[in-house]
């Protein structure tokens, strides 16, 4: 429920996707540790949603995910 009303189909789909992504992130962190799990999560996100963004021409999303990947990498390689 949101704002005292049931969610619309689109809102429910976004909510379910976000909940699924949170669960995957938590599972990866639990399995691999905080930094490596986060790195794997961002790789997964870049692979799936980056491809969609690339097809749609959304280079900002790709830049943001690439920066997040680089930040995690630099912490370990740094």
Reported as a single tens digit per residue, the pLDDT across 61-77 is: 888 888 888 887 888 77
Residue 37, token pair as written in the block: 């799990």
SS3 category, 31? helix
**Residue 47 contacts residue 59 (beta carbons within 8 Å):** no
The per-residue pLDDT for range 1-43, each reduced to its tens digit, is 456 889 999 999 999 999 999 999 999 999 999 888 988 888 8
Evaluate if pTM is beyond 0.75: no
Q: Is 5 helix (H, G, I), strand (E, B) or coil?
A: strand
């Amino acid at each position: 429920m949101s704002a005292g009303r049931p969610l619309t189909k689109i809102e429910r789909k976004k909510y379910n996707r976000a909940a699924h992504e949170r669960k995957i992130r938590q599972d990866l962190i639990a399995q691999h540790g905080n930094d490596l799990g986060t790195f794997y999560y961002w790789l997964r996100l870049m692979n799936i949603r980056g491809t969609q963004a690339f097809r749609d021409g959304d280079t900002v999303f790709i830049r943001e995910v690439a920066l997040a990947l680089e930040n995690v990498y630099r912490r370990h390689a740094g």
